[in-house]
Structure 1
Amino acid sequence: MLPAPYNQLLEKLSRTFPKERLVTDPLRTLAYGTDGSFYRLIPKIVVVVESEDDIQQLLTQCRALKTPVTFRAAGTSLSGQAVTDSVLALLGDNWNGFQLSVDHSKVSLQPGVIGGQANAKLAAFGKKIGPDPASINAAKIGGIAANNASGMCCGTAQNSYRTLSSMRVILRDGTLLDTGNAASVAAFRESHAELLRELDQLAKATRENTVLHERIAQKFKIKNTTGYSLNALIDYTDPVDILQHLMIGSEGTLGFIAEVTFETCIEHAFKASAMVYFETCEIAAKAVQCLKKAPVAAVELVDRAGLKSVESQAGMPDFLKDLPSDATALLIEVRGETHDELSGLIAQVTGSITHIETVHPVEFSEDPAVCARYWGIRKGLFPLVGAMRETGTTVIIEDVAFPIEHLAAGVVDLHKLFKKYQYDEAIIFGHALEGNLHFVFTQDFNTQAEIDRYAAFMDAVCDMVVHKYDGSLKAEHGTGRNMAPFVEMEWGADAFALMQQIKALFDPEGLLNPGVIINDDKDVHLKNLKPLPASEEMVDKCIECGFCEPKCPSKGLTLSPRQRIVGWREISRREALGQTTKGLRDLYDYQGMETCAACGLCATACPVGIETGALIKMLRGRQLSTGAGKLGQWFADHYGTAMNATALGLKAANLAHGVLGSKMMGTVMEGARKLSGDRLPRWTPAMPDGVRFKPENTHSRDNIVVYLPSCASRTMGAARADDQKTPLPVVTQQVLERAGFSVRFPEGLNDLCCGQPFDSKGLAEVADQKARTLEDRLIEATEGGTYPVVFDTSPCAFRMKTLQDAKVSVQDITEFLHDAVLDKLSLKKVARKVALHTTCSTQKMDLQAKLKHLVEQCAEDVVIPDQVGCCGFAGDKGFNTPELNSHALRHLNDALEGVTEGYSTSRTCEIGLSEKSGFPYRSVVYLLEECSR
């Protein structure tokens, strides 16, 4: 039951917001309210906002009832600036605006655009945005700007503050100001003359105060996100310019950034990286000072503890294990517009430190794979420490900056504090050119003694950084709650009073993200600490960073992978305390389990490889009754019979479709589904006809390939509207034989299955049993592995590739066609625009590039919708939980103008894609067959 003021607010909001965008249930308020920090506050109401009008309506109602509101983008924040126990305004799906200027010099981005997605679009023009945080593939523009996030290469010259051109901002009274629109600015100057006048007076007084002016200028010579962007008061004279630059780094405490226009930066085509090792931190610091004057794009420092944490990872040199105890590495990147320029720059950079002794010779690599490995390791250091922590503890990353001349001394002093306060596992890494260091350690918040240890340690760190080196307590992660008690300590009384005036000027009622940046509670950083209780070993290492979320097809429909883990942790915590969990479990059944595609794409984005889908499949297995388990076993034992029945059922439905037509058939089937309590699968006009494939081996024994058509390929034919009626196994055999292969099928094909349908239901033992039987038949067919095995369906290929202790090697249709078939065929491209969908399994097998190349050899124009990942069909989810498929493909048609056909490598995925697009999706084999006739 909500407290009275929130009930009143909810009632008012329900007049203008759809019910589904007002979230109050205990599972989603907990899950949606969780960010990447080590703080936990649970919002009373989560409001999913989809437009500027929504923000204005929400602010109006919250002001009327004096109810605080906090804005949330991706929730990758680390300092507690995106959590609240009041109203959380969560960005919905419609904030993806992207507009590039004609000369490509500026890009306008709405706050829901993920930084990495913006860069992917800009890359075609040789451009990128300036900020480059390690979280760029998950963090959204709203958070990047509101936190003034920087990163590894942008330094202070290309952060949000420095590359800002204009913005659309909504103030606490609901007023929208577009600083890039002359009419909007003129109207604002009239309507908010008093606000601008006071801002102007603050700026003039600051510039005239020589001591304060110099203090601000000095503080922003290095990275600094502690407090507000006071440099706006001395860098600009127009109060509108001051206003928009104060918004950068304000963490949602001054207003809502509805759009930001950045000046774009050059994305150099040629890059090279080197990992350079020094015997001590002091020697590395000397090298940094030399490199500061050299043409480098980035210099990242990693201390010995950090190197130790990655020394056993694949691709790392063996000598890492033998480095001295104080060894320090610098990861250096050089960029150029041409290869010759790059070579010259490498020579300059190498020459700048040639007089400084290194443990091993300096070697730059231009190999993208090598460079990606270096940077992947650097970006993964924070979550890697989190993954190695003891269950029940949390991982903390602090973010300080020293004047570069004090870099080495700062590192030494940090190590001394680690030792004094017994943080023996702590590591240091950071952006060395900026004197910006991150240090990561694990912390137990389960006892008061441990909280006291943390408090004493943080007091000592702040004292050292501020009073000894006059550094920044938060260089790029934002102030949040984490550093709010120390803002005055870092800046001094005058500057802090100026920040208080700014907050009061923009938010006199204190309703915008209260407690963040400005907070009178000197212990706020020690309160509302997030519990990370043990739940299941496979996910206990999750640090709730949110990197997984952009990959998830159910995010926004119900829960994301991070949110599923958060929910299950809470259920586990309550059960461990003997508390009731029925309400949460009932909600979790649908939000957590039923709507999870279990596609595993989350693991490809997780820095420590956690696959939340594996958790969900395990929980599904636990829920199964004895009867359900026996039924699953029966299907496994009588698989051929079940497949024959499936084919007959599909054929009967197809015949009925022909008689009744799509509209009447849809009405009849939807009625039957409702009468069954949604137990019957949903019918769609894209439903395939039933087929029964009868395998016939090629008579020749030359160039044999063993071909395994999947269950779906053997039973599901074309949809009624598709003019390609030949079953996929027949077409695949034609293509293979055309390329000179003799095709052999395993014995007892109709009974064979990789186990995927059983695995997705949580029937792990039955699934493995089917996979082992299939493996035995494949060993026989290949005569002990003599011949290659090819699967025509990617999920099946992936499952068999990852089968533990597998005795047979299989290939997905994509890689076999690309590697073994393509150069044996004579192709004629079709002059058509085609769509391509890369299945989750294709992505997990890292075959995207091969599939794209394959299709590009067959079609003149290939479209890959950039906002579509997993299609959400998930085997049979498209039939039984169709809302998941609809949600996952909600942006599919945005990129399909002029397209009339699509291709993929999974028959079930193609059903959902066909329905949502309105045209047939087929296996890529059909396209290759057509082009090779």
Structure 2
Amino acid sequence: MAESSSLAKGLPTPFDVFVTRLAEALPRERIITDPLRRLAWGTDASFYRLIPQVVVLVESEEEVRSLLTLCHRFRLGITFRAAGTSLSGQAVSDSVLAVLGEGWNGSTIEADGTRIRLQPGVIGTSANRRLAPFGRKIGPDPASIDSCKIGGIAANNASGMCCGTAQNSYRTLDSLRVVLADGAVLDTGDEASRQTFAKSHASLLAGLTDLARRTSGDEALSARIRRKFKIKNTIGYSLNALIDFDDPIDILAHLMIGSEGTLGFISAITYRTVPDHPHRASGLAVFPDMESACRTVVALKATPVSAVEMLDRPSLRSVESKPGMPPYIRTLPDAASALLIEIRGETPEHLAANLALVKAVLDDAQPSIPADLTTDREEIERQWAIRRGMLPTVGALRPGGTTVVTEDIAVPLDHLAEAAHDLRQVLNAHGYEDALIFGHALEGNLHFIFTQDFNKASEVERYGRLMDGIAEVVAGRYDGSLKAEHGTGRAMAPFVEIEWGAQAFALIREIKSLFDPSGLLNPGVILSDDRQAHIHDLKPLPPAFPAIDKCIECGLCERLCPSAGLTLTPRHRIVGWREITRRERAGENADEIRRLYDYHGIDTCAACGLCSMVCPVGINTAVLTKALRGRRHGAATRWLAGRAGRHFGLVTRALRGGLLTARASRRALGAKVIEDLSHALRRLAGPGSPVALAAMPNAGSGSPRPLSRGGRERVVYVSACPSRTMGPSDRGGDGRFLPDVVIGLLDKAGFDVVVPEGLDALCCGLSFESKGLEEEAGRKGEEMALAILAASENGRLSVVMDASPCSLRMKGILEGRATLHDLPEFLHDEVLPRLTVDRQDRPVLLHLPCSVKRMGGQDKLRRLAEACSSRVSVPEEVTCCGFAGDKGFFRPELNDHALRHLTDGAPPDFVGCSSSRTCEIGLEQHSGASFQSIAYLLDACSRSKD
């Protein structure tokens, strides 16, 4: 991954000198200046793009301070970025972009879970997962909480669907630690730090004291600020801090909330947590029009309802085909609107009492379709997942080349119905009749989404006129918030004075001057002298490849990607390929970016498809990666693939022979010597030379033999080629071959075993597909399918396959023709109930392969392990192992990176379990322990009930 010897090559002055100086303080590999990755980091979830000149991955407060010092010396703007899920353009920069590295994931639970101290790199749901045993959670609950990080949640004062204004970061802040523009560090929860800061920054605190005195002394201004913050409001700074607190350090701390990185860097925050009541009910009530739905919201405000989301008819239409949506949604009239309602309770009795109060209000409101309130957790999660994913879902429906724009406003709740009506009128008047209106109605908070073509000047002007009209209605007519929860960013910077008025706007400017007199912290965000800033630097989304064209670059996929932090994420890959495509269509030179993309975009993509699981519209970036790999193959490679496919039995025998030879070499010279030699050869020959890992498997046993004792239920057992070719490694705790273990288990459970004819020459085609050799992959997959159908009597018999990645592929190929079970699934459903299991106490470290997750089998695999051991743990920080078939041999750095946290907190002397032989190679390599199929564990703990 090393860049050119001249790290700052091609950068304009003063950035070239800046980078040279920066490399004296930070490792060079964390200073990114190549054009591909700078481009990739130039986008967030908003519709803006700015390409940074330098991207710096910061890992500590000291590095942040060094970076700030250099930025001041060279007078360079600096923007801090957490997850980049911001919707208003506050996480992009055309100067220095500082991205949180892995050093910011710490958390400390205090006072029995009533407080939690978090570093800014912790993902919101991770914080809540750590608080769950205490029945608590953090107050903010933005729709992107599964992906966004604490730094962004606090810096944007993000709220969400249940949070309202009472539980946002401002209201639940206990203390924070901040690095200011001059490099000073203040921990507001530490008395010694407060005293030191009071001496070193007396003038700053005096300035804040003066601002607070003047503001509190102006009754009209104070009343206006209180009124503005009774509703959700993220425009400008948290001016309520000036009237809510007397101590200037407390004022400073609360001004940092919602400041979007323009006043300082929040390096830690302590929240007062809130109860997380476990008992929930949810349902959808439909009303004849938006006005009646809004009036019902006002009535519901007085009930113990947790959340009320309003969805107008276009919103409902955008999700009516989603799984779990009731069929009647498709038949609703154009004026209809719905309320998605959630009620919570500490106990079932508490929930029942709250339900009764809510139902009474809903009955009085007489919806056209009453809410069918359910307590089924899966159904509730499905309903709210649809709501959380509405923005990307709408993005997927947009015409090619257009952009999705999302805005959110808030008005006093008693004006919600009129404001919703007026908002629709303004949208229609400017030609946005298809815009969706929905939102957190219980707080008077409405979102609206529409698609916009920013490729034409006339369309950009139309958008500008719309925003002027929105500002006139929301700020002028209702004195509401032009940004209720998405932050000011670039999108609303030109409108801050319009919303607040000249007097309050002057306060905002004074605050900025006190904290950042040089104006280097996130310039252009919150405050901008450019009255047209909201229609500049707009992000292009040109069509580039059908599988990715729906992407709006929201970044929700990034947390699961095994190459995130090593090279690129799915969002980055899409950004990069779009730019390569755009340049080539325009006749521009794309050679350097394309060259860089080969490694960063294609070679180090695990193609695991986990991104599709969290993408609300199911975009699988692996489809692009595999297609691009296929384009790199010439006729000779395709001919060789065809020969290998047609003589696959010979190929597998040759591989087993190679593994036997490798074992002999390891025994003669030692595994470490062989591995070191392979690394040396790789340095000479390049990445085409594989690494002989110390955890290299031994030769497999070939195809299993059928088993028949007569008169028993039959099952077709398909041993995948990795299981047939590769046996246990020298570290393997159980030296038996997997097919022998599986047949033993099936026999123990009372099954006769049928094996497809000619299995040794069969392959599901996954090894070809992953390399982009679609033609041969399809041929081998169908060949395997026909053999399975013949063995299963055309699908009459159950079929089980022993490698989860292969099971995933064959399930798709056999869909509608036969039912194929992944091995953990079949062991859990059919084998476990027929066995007596002696649960052991030895700890089990369980890896959940990405293919198991994509099949929805992770719970069964976990329960299977828990049936065998009372101490099962799953490494939280590992998503995909990154071995990716054979990438662990040819791109070992991907496997190294993906499994860097594998054994963090793992118990000693654990048994490693998984359900993919190739994954297990990497798991053994990085744990130093044995990792084998879950079948070994179950077999060791069980005996036949008969």
TM-score band (shorter)?
Answer: over 0.9
SS at match of 2:112: coil
1:320-399 alignment, distance < 5 Å: 320-399=329-408
State the partner residue of 2:797.
787
1-side partners of 2:167 and 2:525: how far apart? 25
Deviation of residue 21 (structure 1)? 0.5
Q: Is the 8 A contact 2:112 2:134 kept in 1?
A: no
SS at match of 1:867: coil
2-side partners of 1:182 and 1:899: how far apart? 44
CA deviation map 1:798-854 (0-9, x unaligned): 001122765222110111011111110000011101100000010001111111111
CA deviation map 1:399-425 (0-9, x unaligned): 100111111111111111222111122
Pick aligned residue for 2:896 from 883, 886, 890: 886
Amino acid at match of 2:662: A
State the partner residue of 1:877.
887
Q: Is the 8 A contact 2:663 2:698 kept in 1?
A: yes
2-side partners of 1:540 and 1:882: how far apart? 31
Q: Is the 8 A contact 1:551 1:602 kept in 2?
A: yes
2-side partners of 1:161 and 1:694: how far apart? 63
Amino acid at match of 1:766: E
State the partner residue of 2:929.
919
1:257 aligns with 2:266: yes
- List gaps (5 residues or longer) in structure 1: none
Q: Is the 8 A contact 2:233 2:484 kept in 1?
A: yes
1-side partners of 2:678 and 2:387: how far apart? 54
Once the two structures are overlaid, the 10-residue window that deviates more, 4-13 or 805-814, is 805-814
SS at match of 1:508: coil
State the partner residue of 1:29.
38
State the partner residue of 1:86.
95
2-side partners of 1:266 and 1:627: how far apart? 63
1:850 aligns with 2:838: no
SS at match of 1:476: coil
State the partner residue of 2:774.
764
SS at match of 2:872: strand
Q: Is the 8 A contact 1:389 1:442 kept in 2?
A: yes
Q: Is the 8 A contact 1:644 1:692 kept in 2?
A: no
1:543 aligns with 2:547: no
CA deviation map 1:530-577 (0-9, x unaligned): 111110111111000000000100011000000000000000111110
1:289 aligns with 2:305: no
State the partner residue of 1:748.
758
- List gaps (5 residues or longer) in structure 2: 1-9
Q: Is the 8 A contact 2:440 2:446 kept in 1?
A: yes
State the partner residue of 1:617.
626
Pick aligned residue for 2:817 from 803, 807, 810: 807
Pick aligned residue for 2:311 from 292, 302, 305: 302
Deviation of residue 674 (structure 1)? 3.0
CA deviation map 1:292-323 (0-9, x unaligned): 00001101100111111222222222222222
SS at match of 2:382: helix
State the partner residue of 1:900.
910
1:232 aligns with 2:241: yes
Deviation of residue 694 (structure 1)? 4.2
CA deviation map 1:845-889 (0-9, x unaligned): 111111111100001100111111000000000000000001011
Q: Is the 8 A contact 2:792 2:798 kept in 1?
A: yes
CA deviation map 1:236-287 (0-9, x unaligned): 1111100010000000000000011111111111000011111111211111
State the partner residue of 1:204.
213
Pick aligned residue for 2:186 from 150, 166, 177: 177
Pick aligned residue for 2:224 from 215, 221, 227: 215
CA distance 1:101–1:805, change in 2 (3 Å):
closer
Q: Is the 8 A contact 2:403 2:541 kept in 1?
A: yes
SS at match of 1:353: helix
Pick aligned residue for 2:476 from 463, 467, 472: 467
State the partner residue of 2:685.
676
Amino acid at match of 1:898: P
Pick aligned residue for 1:403 from 385, 404, 412: 412
CA deviation map 1:172-205 (0-9, x unaligned): 0111111111111111111111111111111111
1:729 aligns with 2:747: no
Q: Is the 8 A contact 1:863 1:895 kept in 2?
A: no
Deviation of residue 2 (structure 1)? 1.2
Deviation of residue 680 (structure 1)? 2.4
Q: Is the 8 A contact 2:602 2:625 kept in 1?
A: yes
2-side partners of 1:435 and 1:370: how far apart? 26
CA distance 1:463–1:709, change in 2 (3 Å):
same
State the partner residue of 1:246.
255
Q: Which runs of 4+ in 1 moved over 6 A?
A: none
Pick aligned residue for 2:18 from 3, 9, 28: 9
1:394-433 alignment, distance < 5 Å: 394-433=403-442
Amino acid at match of 2:165: T
2-side partners of 1:898 and 1:763: how far apart? 42
1:633-712 alignment, distance < 5 Å: 633-701=642-710, 702-712=712-722
2-side partners of 1:633 and 1:98: how far apart? 53
1:100 aligns with 2:128: no
2-side partners of 1:155 and 1:584: how far apart? 44
Amino acid at match of 2:849: T
Pick aligned residue for 2:877 from 859, 867, 885: 867
Deviation of residue 718 (structure 1)? 1.1
1:823 aligns with 2:833: yes
Q: Is the 8 A contact 1:49 1:89 kept in 2?
A: yes
SS at match of 1:354: helix
TM-score normalised by L of structure 1: 0.99
1-side partners of 2:733 and 2:457: how far apart? 70
Q: Is the 8 A contact 1:835 1:899 kept in 2?
A: no
CA deviation map 1:311-354 (0-9, x unaligned): 22222222222223211111110111111111111011111232
Q: Is the 8 A contact 1:34 1:83 kept in 2?
A: yes
State the partner residue of 2:172.
163
Q: Is the 8 A contact 2:278 2:345 kept in 1?
A: yes
1:600 aligns with 2:600: no
2-side partners of 1:213 and 1:455: how far apart? 32
1-side partners of 2:267 and 2:37: how far apart? 25
2-side partners of 1:834 and 1:805: how far apart? 34
| Count of aligned residue pairs for this structure pair | 933
2-side partners of 1:540 and 1:673: how far apart? 37
1-side partners of 2:179 and 2:853: how far apart? 40
SS at match of 1:131: coil
1:490 aligns with 2:499: yes
Once the two structures are overlaid, the 10-residue window that deviates more, 361-370 or 165-174, is 361-370
Q: Is the 8 A contact 2:300 2:361 kept in 1?
A: yes
SS at match of 2:321: coil
1-side partners of 2:496 and 2:138: how far apart? 29
Percentage identity across paired residues of the two chains: 53
1:581-600 alignment, distance < 5 Å: 581-600=590-609
1:522 aligns with 2:511: no
2-side partners of 1:754 and 1:195: how far apart? 67
Q: Is the 8 A contact 1:710 1:753 kept in 2?
A: yes
1:42 aligns with 2:41: no
2-side partners of 1:313 and 1:103: how far apart? 40
TM-score normalised by L of structure 2: 0.98
1:930 aligns with 2:931: no
1-side partners of 2:312 and 2:127: how far apart? 32
Amino acid at match of 1:19: R
Q: Is the 8 A contact 1:651 1:691 kept in 2?
A: no
1:130 aligns with 2:139: yes
State the partner residue of 2:850.
840
Pick aligned residue for 2:201 from 186, 189, 192: 192
Q: Is the 8 A contact 2:814 2:820 kept in 1?
A: no
